[in-house]
Structure 1
């Protein structure tokens, strides 16, 4: 179910050439008329190509001169290192730090780079309110009745239909709705594990998943992870004799933002199926791709029902609505039994409203705008980091999602930076939150889902200045 316009395809090809250096920084690009003739497109379509590239900060228009390749100074920033967690299932949960960071949710006096959700200014709030009203009017008894155990029929039907875009081939009957993705992940882990079992996760990984695993009495094995290609499958394979369940975020993982290549996903699915190890796939960020096409999921390659695919609209549409789902494959009966015991029913009106929103096509239109905004934000953040942050700073190159991972020089402690930043009304997520092991002390995650403004740029500059101050103090101590 591809929905790529011709101008997007041409812009995508040109973007690739810019990023790979085929078109050099400062180089003049073909004029609108030349581009039109080369590709057999209208002048207006050629203009849309350049507007698309301009929105991605890849080209710059110059009056009476045409379009030129941007300098893209942020691409010169090195990538973070591949993580190297210890191959042991132990560690300490940084509870105090995590609680401190998440206690700031909803604080209007802070610039919250720390919370990984899109700003309300990027969401279709008026349309969502209208859908709530329509759902209340349309549902039997005004939506006060329980919905079916498996979940809202309309929502499940739309989730299944949208799976065609990533070769999911799901049916309505394959999907169970949940109260957000974390509820789906909790149901899956509860169904598949018992206290003392071992779960394999990416490192760094989402703090909520780490906390969930610990709360269920599970041992956590953190696996080496590359900032572009994701989890090291060879490293994982060596650990498999110790592993009962694997839980991964292959598409735009937070905090690194990588997208696991299809060949890696296929290899991973076949490897885990061979060893009889279930794969819980968190695909919450899959719709937030920066490329023209949505990436496949591990579930796309699942022939045995061994992948439990979980997702939601919490990162794309409405964080507070708590609308999620799971396609649990051969574990469907186990998940339904647990849902009956733990939840029985989701919020009827909310799930009906989201199902309606997905049916109208408004969701896809919203996603197009949101993806473009997030990609533009990533590039603006990266430019600011290249200009204001200490020399030696490294950043990830997210291919989608809401996260940007920043690795400072070793002498900068991100927890100390976090405390200083709060005094400037800035919230960040220190890297130590994303591991049970004693690592990532010089790293932080920034949410790129905020509304861009000059004030946001100033806040990034303040962060950079604070980091430089900490680096200078560390240098003085060493003298």
Structure 2
């Protein structure tokens, strides 16, 4: 406890010196060992101080050189506004725009700022290929048989073990594997809703979830969302009598990238249980934190089985593998029944390979590298936006995840910007995609999961110049 207190105090002290200009951009900080000696703390606690400052994008590490104060110009950019959706449910889908943007998926001639997944260059592709070969050898009949309805045992065991990191304490029997997180969410919605029910979602929200809800005949109630703290809990509580089900992305929501506080997560779980409203939690981005430890989930505070926790490896390891899962709590029987009807079995070979990879230390090593890259990319993107984008541009400050939310001055229409950018081999995700209402026309989402190069910097410069011309 004493070390935790010291770590927070030391980190805050250094952060204040950076923010007030006492420590200047580019200035070198004391080494881990010197900080440890100066403050009488352990080496691990000293490392924790630097990790915390890195998570706030206040410092950056340089191999064999140490830690340095990051350029802070981007922190002068204001945050995007808190969203203000209408409280009247609306189902006007921007289908044509969504179809155009996602038709670019897999087009390697384009710079795909529009697709929120890590580039293959950031993934352990060679190791995954080996795991596929090993899986065909280890499974009975080479993986050609159906699995049990719960899914691959090795994968479920590893997910259960990893849940300890966020306070989940799941057992393998608590989990059902699926074909990706969206498949998990779809099964949950099919099990717990009927046409005409109202679902509460954050605004802005991932387009696929919006389309899924509308396709099932649900009324979508978009909830006002702050770019740092998430939904306004007091305002949300007033809406509960109108809601049948709720779907949230509390950890590094796309497109805003915020991480909801533990206090708010716990409060939401308690409120929804009180009103007997199921909560579907999409935790796809939970492992992509920029801080020192994996954040808790809403499921961490679930004592009655009312939270259906969904996730996958699509944003961390292999988008195309479609390896997902759900811990459905007290709704387990309904989900199993629907999985039998809609898919019978997941891909045995793929899920065995993912399970094997999760068993090794290679996965944690990969995640550490990926998180560091994404955090550095955030800093690179932010600095490029300060330099090249129009005056008045606002950006989110993601605490993890893969995406950055940009808010331009109101006169810049990002659908028009999308059309101009595409002619220049650049694809973006216009803000209108992330709502069923008439909002976010001057916003866009950028994926940070691309390797940072001089060419990528030039693409951002080109995008900024195009925005200035609109």
- TM-score bracket relative to the smaller structure: over 0.9
Q: Corresponding residue for 1:279?
A: 279
Change beyond 3 A, Cα 1:55–1:279: closer
DSSP 3-state at the match of 1:223: strand
Q: Corresponding residue for 1:211?
A: 211
Q: Corresponding residue for 1:178?
A: 178
For residues 150 and 15 of structure 1, the distance between their equivalents in structure 2, rounded to whole angstroms, comes to: 49
Give the TM-score normalised by structure 1: 0.91
Q: Deviation of residue 60 (structure 1)? A: 7.2
**Is 1:431–2:431 an aligned residue pair?**
yes
Q: Corresponding residue for 1:359?
A: 359
Q: Deviation of residue 37 (structure 1)? A: 2.5
DSSP 3-state at the match of 1:271: helix
Q: Deviation of residue 232 (structure 1)? A: 1.3
**Is 1:239–2:226 an aligned residue pair?**
no
**Is 1:303–2:309 an aligned residue pair?**
no
* 8 Å contact kept, 2:26–2:71: no
Q: Corresponding residue for 1:83?
A: 83
Q: Corresponding residue for 2:4?
A: none
Change beyond 3 A, Cα 1:294–1:54: closer
**Is 1:261–2:271 an aligned residue pair?**
no
* 8 Å contact kept, 1:394–1:407: yes
For residues 17 and 159 of structure 2, the distance between their equivalents in structure 1, rounded to whole angstroms, comes to: 35
Q: Corresponding residue for 1:120?
A: 120
For residues 301 and 77 of structure 2, the distance between their equivalents in structure 1, rounded to whole angstroms, comes to: 35
Q: Corresponding residue for 1:476?
A: none
DSSP 3-state at the match of 2:263: helix
For residues 332 and 266 of structure 2, the distance between their equivalents in structure 1, rounded to whole angstroms, comes to: 22
For residues 47 and 271 of structure 2, the distance between their equivalents in structure 1, rounded to whole angstroms, comes to: 47
For residues 373 and 163 of structure 1, the distance between their equivalents in structure 2, rounded to whole angstroms, comes to: 24
Q: Deviation of residue 156 (structure 1)? A: 0.5
For residues 226 and 453 of structure 1, the distance between their equivalents in structure 2, rounded to whole angstroms, comes to: 31
For residues 240 and 343 of structure 2, the distance between their equivalents in structure 1, rounded to whole angstroms, comes to: 33
Change beyond 3 A, Cα 1:48–1:338: closer
Alignment of 1:2-401 (within 5 A): 16-17=15-16, 21=20, 24-26=23-25, 28=27, 30-32=29-31, 34-39=34-39, 58-59=58-59, 69-401=69-401
Structure 1, unaligned runs of 5 or more: 1-7, 471-479
Structure 2, unaligned runs of 5 or more: 1-6
Q: Deviation of residue 35 (structure 1)? A: 2.7
* 8 Å contact kept, 2:91–2:214: no
For residues 385 and 220 of structure 1, the distance between their equivalents in structure 2, rounded to whole angstroms, comes to: 33
* 8 Å contact kept, 1:418–1:429: yes
Count of residue pairs the alignment pairs up = 463
Change beyond 3 A, Cα 1:105–1:398: same
Q: Deviation of residue 51 (structure 1)? A: 10
* 8 Å contact kept, 2:29–2:69: no
* 8 Å contact kept, 2:281–2:298: yes
Please identify runs of 4+ aligned residues in structure 1 that moved more than 2 A.
Answer: 8-37, 39-62, 65-71
Deviation string for 1:185-225 (max 9, x for gaps)? Answer: 00000000001111000000000000000110101000000
Q: Deviation of residue 34 (structure 1)? A: 3.9
For residues 304 and 194 of structure 1, the distance between their equivalents in structure 2, rounded to whole angstroms, comes to: 23
Give the TM-score normalised by structure 2: 0.92
Change beyond 3 A, Cα 1:44–1:400: closer
Superposition CA RMSD, Å: 2.8
For residues 455 and 17 of structure 2, the distance between their equivalents in structure 1, rounded to whole angstroms, comes to: 29
* 8 Å contact kept, 1:56–1:379: no
For residues 135 and 14 of structure 2, the distance between their equivalents in structure 1, rounded to whole angstroms, comes to: 42
DSSP 3-state at the match of 1:406: strand
Q: Deviation of residue 242 (structure 1)? A: 1.3
Change beyond 3 A, Cα 1:226–1:45: closer
For residues 141 and 51 of structure 1, the distance between their equivalents in structure 2, rounded to whole angstroms, comes to: 46
User: Which 10-residue stretch deviates more, 450-459 or 29-38?
Assistant: 29-38
DSSP 3-state at the match of 2:240: helix
For residues 175 and 190 of structure 2, the distance between their equivalents in structure 1, rounded to whole angstroms, comes to: 18
* 8 Å contact kept, 2:52–2:291: no
For residues 243 and 211 of structure 1, the distance between their equivalents in structure 2, rounded to whole angstroms, comes to: 18
Q: Deviation of residue 70 (structure 1)? A: 3.1
DSSP 3-state at the match of 1:308: strand
